[in-house]
Chain A
Amino acid sequence: MSVRQSLLAILDQGPCYGYQLRTEFDRRTGGTWPLNVGQIYQTLERLERDGLVAKGESDKEGRAYYEITAAGRAEVAQWLSSPVARQTAARDELAIKLAVAATLPGVDLAQVIQVQRTATLALLRDLTRTKEAIDEPSSPEDLAYLLLVDAQIFQIDGELRWLDHSEGRLARAVADGVAGPLPLSTEVPKRGRPARAAAANAEGTRS
């Protein structure tokens, strides 16, 4: 979980108290992922329980500083050297919408795609304007923020390329006579999970 590890990595730069840690996290993520203080303290308690940080003495203002331990440093190094695992089972609303739409009668799929493309492009343009406003990064904070904006831009760009690809795939399917409505099956489905989904789930569990 990247919040836990991000906070730990920040603590690797020096001891921090809870609110300070929230501010430092915001500086590095441009405020795009706001954390509440409760979440921070909950995370710190878990990190302390796991022996990755140690709670020090409180100062005059009553602020308790947390310090990273050797095990915590090892965890940070491990995090930085490992790839982030993608959640393969994450639902993609748009992909599901298009897949279902492709099985329905009387749906203009090209129009469905175009409506989405226009909306997605508008979002992409907004993000690009945000980037334009920063111009060249002049601080580590700017750089971190630009990296986050870029991440969103590339995700959206991926969606747009997938829409282009889907449009081509649909056109070919229509030409090949494969596209068309999928009528309701006359077979009465048995209770339980469909075989293909169950197999896919079993695959997901193994990986």
Chain B
Amino acid sequence: MSTPLLRLDGVAMQYGKGEASVTALSGIDLDVQAGELVAVMGASGSGKSTLLTIAGGLTAPTAGEVVVSGTYLSTLSAKGLAQLRRRSLGFVFQDFNLVPSLTALENVTLPLELDGWRGTKARSVGHDALRAVELDDRADAFPDDLSGGQQQRVAIARAVVGDRRLILADEPTGALDSTTGELVMRMLRRRIDAGAGGILVTHDSRHAAWADRIVFLRDGRITDGTQRERPEQLLASAGRHA
């Protein structure tokens, strides 16, 4: 098997010390391969979002290792970590987190430009990313002129622009209506099928169902998970899409 895009190896997170300490995560082992979306579900306070911030190198775990495309984050300096975040992974948040004074295209190319890409090359790659989420015709629009679903598609484009292949999504459909949420999940799924990998934190089963694998967190531990398998059976067995 190839090197996973992301590996969490015995990851733990503890806040505070001694009797007052709180364990947010404990003994988390999780691999995400290219072409794989892993959904993380669990009740509020189960550690879902903490897991995501650790996977993205925003928070260092108190124990264990985070490995992104073969690089141990614990070996990187702050500068090296920031560079890896710019080049290898992208976050998608519930509230889109686009810069309002930048156009859709400028939002998408921002991580590239921060990484020193030439403007023309960055714009060309940015257009590709927007095309992949069917929004290239709105490249010059500002976030305020886009619907919620469109803004989230821009955020997905930004998450995978250039060589970034690891998508870390925290309730990406939380602020969207049901049909728009589904469209965003379709776009996310397409990016995964095109070779990206990702973690999707959600409490919504219908959106978790777009993942290849679903793991459950309870009190900071992975308690169970669905098997990785491709679908075959169901309703369609009697229908024309069988």
Contact B240 A31 (CB under 8 A): yes
Encode A62-81 as 1/0 by CB contact (under 8 A) with B. 00000000000000000000
**Given known contacts A130-B241, A135-B186, is B224 in contact with A114 (CB within 8 Å)?**
yes
Q: Which of B189, B206, B208 has the most CB of A within 10 A?
A: B206
Q: Which of B205, B208, B214, B234 has the most CB of A within 10 A?
A: B205
Residue of A nearest to B242 (CB): A31
Chain A nearest Cβ from B20, distance in angstroms: 23
**Given known contacts A31-B240, A114-B223, A125-B226, is B209 in contact with A130 (CB within 8 Å)?**
no
**In the complex, A160 has a CB within 8 A of chain B:** yes
**In the complex, A24 has a CB within 8 A of chain B:** no
**Given known contacts A118-B224, A130-B234, A132-B189, is B241 in contact with A153 (CB within 8 Å)?**
no
Chain B nearest Cβ from A135, distance in angstroms: 7
**In the complex, B211 has a CB within 8 A of chain A:** yes
Chain B nearest Cβ from A101, distance in angstroms: 18
> Number of B residues whose C-beta is below 8 Å from A?
28
Contact A32 B235 (CB under 8 A): yes
Contact B186 A122 (CB under 8 A): no
Encode A168-193 as 1/0 by CB contact (under 8 A) with B. 10000000000000000000000000
Cα of A154 to Cα of B182 in the assembled complex, Å? 13
**In the complex, B231 has a CB within 8 A of chain A:** yes
Contact B239 A30 (CB under 8 A): yes
**Given known contacts A126-B234, A157-B205, is B239 in contact with A31 (CB within 8 Å)?**
yes
Contact A125 B209 (CB under 8 A): yes
**Given known contacts A114-B216, A125-B214, A132-B210, is B226 in contact with A31 (CB within 8 Å)?**
no
Chain A nearest Cβ from B158, distance in angstroms: 23
**Given known contacts A124-B205, A161-B205, is B227 in contact with A152 (CB within 8 Å)?**
no
Residues of B at the A interface (CB closer than 8 Å) are 43, 186, 189, 205-206, 208-211, 214, 216, 223-227, 229-236, 238-241
